[in-house]
Amino acid sequence: MPGVVDPFAPAKLGPITIRNRMIKAATFEGRTPRRVVTDELVAFHRAVAAGGVGMSTVAYCAVSPDGGTDGHQIVLGDEALPGLRRLAEAIHTEGAAASAQIGHAGPVANPAGTKRPALSPSRMLTPWMRMTRAVTDDDIARVTTDYANGARVLVAAGFDAIEVHLGHNYLLSAFLSPKLNRRRDRWGGDVESRARFPRQVVRAVREAAGGGVAVTVKLNMSDGVRGGLEPAESLAVATMLEQDGSIDAIELTGGSSLSNPMYLFRGDAPVTEFAATLPPMIRVGFKLFGRRFLKTYPFEEAYFRDDARRFLRALKTPVILLGGINRLDTIHSALDEGFSFVAMARALLREPDLIRRMQAGTASEATCIHCNRCMPTIYRGTHCPLDAEPAAAR
């Protein structure tokens, strides 16, 4: 039933206004093999924007060459600017706002792809069976500057919003994790010290973005691993970010790309499909032991909602609800409860025009079945394999 808050009415997000309260969440598109915008990436976001979302979020933009996951993400340098400008214009032409997620992969990076050592708060062995390098004070200063410079590139390209990635055990998220951050200097220890670097980065992005662009963060509530970040400390981090006055909204997420990605996705674990994408020497082992990495969590719509309510009650900052949102009645109830926006990913991957059809009254629920077979496609043109292969993948 319709609620008090109209999800299709324009809404303020910091200094900008977007046409409705539905946001296309940042998810790997797999359409930037040379680290710059391609026609396929423009078409991907144009379709989502034409499909009715208030804002479409480009993912994942690395702030430096060593900040990508596999060497195929957009790097926010001058060479990316013309394509980013074209991408923002395409989204705007369809009536939506343009956002970009920026980050540094840290220990999630695969050195075989980036051709650079992976960075982390403390030395560790990654799933790629490589040792990371613990960042130095000089690294922290350099990465902070990289974030600020990346924000300036996006502003110059005409983006309306910037999302700083503080989730999934990427570099800033790894600093927040008591499991991954075992430092004994000013960057490690209690939660305030572990949050020092991420807060420094967010402040730098806010200053570089200026007053006309919205700045949001995507923050893990829980890493989903023993000894990792949990909701109590995550809420403390969110409170610090709010007190810093650097953010216009916070999107809440969870899970670790290093050790528990299914905590984020929920639903079926596509072990066989993932194994098929791996080199033959690794494929057999993944088929045998992959379920230790891709654990199974039963799907429940809006599965982050219960944890997110704790943040909603404690913060004045607008909260964006993420996590398996499929139905219009769920959107209504979330907004009436006090969430400012909802973010959707897999549902829009299969049906980029879902929001437009919901507004027209011809759809009330997504057809996504959360089989998660889209996950293994992320490096070859992310798509729903239940539908036709995209032209770029054929």
Mean pLDDT value of segment 33-49: 96
Mean pLDDT of 184-197: 98
Please give the Cα distance from 326 to 344 (Å, whole number). Answer: 8
Q: Which residues lie below 8 Å from residue 391, measured CB to CB, with a gap of 6+?
A: 40
pLDDT of residue 282: 64
Q: What is the mean pLDDT of residues 185-196?
A: 98
Cα distance between the two ends of the chain: 42
Average model confidence (pLDDT) across the chain: 93
Domains of the chain, by residue range, sit at 11-384
Instruction: Output phi, psi for 234, to 5 deg.
Output: -60, -40
List the catalytic residue out of 147, 170, 263, 303: 170
Q: Catalytic annotation on 170?
A: yes
Q: Strands, DSSP E only, in the chain?
A: 11-13, 16-18, 22-24, 55-62, 97-103, 119-120, 133-134, 161-166, 214-222, 249-254, 319-321, 341-344
**Is the pLDDT assigned to residue 255 strictly greater than 90?**
yes
Q: Over the stretch 106-153, which tens digit does the pLDDT of each residue have?
A: 999 988 888 999 999 999 988 777 899 999 999 999 999 999 999 999
pLDDT digits 0-9 by tens, 340-375: 999 999 999 999 999 999 999 999 999 999 899 888
23 and 342 Cβ atoms separated by less than 8 Å: yes
Question: What integer pLDDT is reported at residue 377 of this predicted model?
Answer: 85
Q: What is the pLDDT of residue 210?
A: 96
Instruction: Provide the pLDDT for residue 281.
Output: 61
Transcribe 5-65 into DSSP letters.
S-TTS-EEETTEEESSSEEE--------TTSS--HHHHHHHHHHHHTT-SEEEEEEEESSG
- Can you tell me the distance from the alpha carbon of 370 to that of 368, in angstroms, rounded to the nearest whole number? 6
CA angle (218 as vertex; 34, 121 as ends), nearest 5 = 75
Phi, psi for residue 311 in degrees, rounded to 5: -70, -40
- By C-alpha distance, which of 373, 345, 394 is closest to 29? 345
In this prediction, residue 392 carries a pLDDT of 39
DSSP letters of 103-128? E--GGG--HHHHSS--EESS--B-TT
Sign of CA dihedral 325, 328, 332, 335: positive
- Second-level CATH architecture of 11-384: Alpha-Beta Barrel (3.20)
